Amino acid sequence: MHLKKELLELTGKYVPYMIETRRYLHQHPEVSYKEFETTKFIKAELDKLEISYDSPLETGCVGIIEGAIESEKVIALRADIDALAMSEEGDAKSTFFSKNEGAAHCCGHDAHTANLLGVAKILSELKEHISGKVLLIFQPGEEKLPGGGRLLCETEYLQKHNVNAIYGLHTDPSQSPGKIATKSGPLMGSPDEFEVEIFGKGGHAARPHEAIDPIVMASQFITSAQTIVSRSVDPTDAAVVTIGKIEGGTAHNIIPESVRMLGTVRTLSKSTADTIAERLEAILKGICEGAGGSYSFTFNRGYPVVNNTVEETAQILTSMKALFGEESATELEKPIMAGEDFAFYQEHFPGAFFFAGSGAPESDSQYVWHHPKYNVDDRFFEYAAPLMASLVVDKK
């Protein structure tokens, strides 16, 4: 690690700015793909730093820092900027409570944005140590399909810049500020969604032989779907099939016409997700045909697996330990099954994603992601910002 002293000094200088910026963004949340004011704010901050930017999508932007050392190297740092379509709970009189009804920064993307703006300030003062270019990706729409990461990759903007490595982070309420965690290989699962409707023939509950009962077909389907993970998926591979909603029928003595179900599939590889989608439909078809009914089935692909490359993961762990000691960085043993659209970038470029501690009891910031009282401890920036900046100056 070089520049440790400079990085920590600059971090100290800009932590108040990041805290203030995050509070401003927290007060002015905008939902996915509608981040118009947020984008204006980010661009104005980049203007102050004389950092040029491009707008490959309608909202969000990509800032470009040119290093003083001539090189082909291009490192991308990504922050997602969108809020959730929900209402915040807590002290409405607090200095940074959401002012936009129905939108709230309850996933910490306000902190990600403020952090990357702080990193922009730090790197602007270290240009003579930066070789090549740094792309600062302020990405819209992480929370909603198809995913801003996917849309940005589809523009081929980053491909044209020949990005060598990309890094991203998420606030983590389960760790205290000063700790980070990541792993190489699969870090986060792929969340897919499916919808099933089973059609039978309605009738009198006492004359089932004249009806085709969709409730019986639905119960067979639910039970059989639970055999997919145990019988069709490699036992060393992780997968989840959950049916989270079922609706059908109106009364105790009527056989309904149809039953509708919603479910989710979580996997760590596309091929496993493909297998599960195929098996779900095959089971459904078998049951419905056997009983004389019919069905509709839709399987909506969510984000791919967040799959960290070995070299970039090692870089994160090494840089963090060099800044804050051996105990500050943990290599996780297992992935988590939540999804992240950072995965789309990793389909094109080497890259790694990590969790940076943001939870502490004294700041009431240990609520899980998407909780209406979600909060980020201010000390998050003291560690996240210098780590992000060091990934640029440390990267060989």
Enumerate binding residues for Zn ion (CB under 5 A). Answer: 107
How many other CB atoms are there within 10 angstroms of residue 234's CB atom?
Answer: 11
Nearer to Zn ion, 31 or 218 (CB): 31
Candidate list 30, 80, 82, 143, residue with the active-site label: 82
> Smallest distance, Å, CB 74 to Zn ion?
25
Nearer to Zn ion, 107 or 387 (CB): 107
| Residue whose pair of structure tokens reads 């800044």 in the numeric block | 323
Please provide residue 366's backbone torsions phi and psi, each rounded to the nearest 5 degrees.
Answer: -105, 10
Helix (H, G, I), strand (E, B) or coil at 185: strand
> Smallest distance, Å, CB 324 to Zn ion?
23
Nearer to Zn ion, 107 or 239 (CB): 107
Nearer to Zn ion, 23 or 105 (CB): 105
Nearer to Zn ion, 198 or 306 (CB): 306
Nearer to Zn ion, 60 or 249 (CB): 60
Residue 82 annotated to the active site? yes
Residue 142 annotated to the active site? yes
Fill in the DSSP letter of residue 364: T
Candidate list 30, 35, 110, 142, residue with the active-site label: 142
Nearer to Zn ion, 107 or 259 (CB): 107
In angstroms, the Cα distances linking 217 to 1, 197, 200, 259, 276 are 62, 11, 9, 9, 19
Which residue is closest to Zn ion by CB? 107
> Smallest distance, Å, CB 376 to Zn ion?
11
> Smallest distance, Å, CB 79 to Zn ion?
10
Please provide residue 115's backbone torsions phi and psi, each rounded to the nearest 5 degrees.
Answer: -65, -45
Beta strands in the chain, from DSSP E residues, in sequence order = 52-54, 61-66, 69-80, 131-139, 165-172, 180-182, 185-188, 190-199, 203-204, 239-248, 254-255, 258-267, 294-300, 306-308, 329-331, 351-357
> Smallest distance, Å, CB 369 to Zn ion?
5
Nearer to Zn ion, 107 or 233 (CB): 107
The DSSP bridge partners found for residue 136 are 63, 77
Helix (H, G, I), strand (E, B) or coil at 303: coil
Which residues belong to the active site?
A: 82, 142
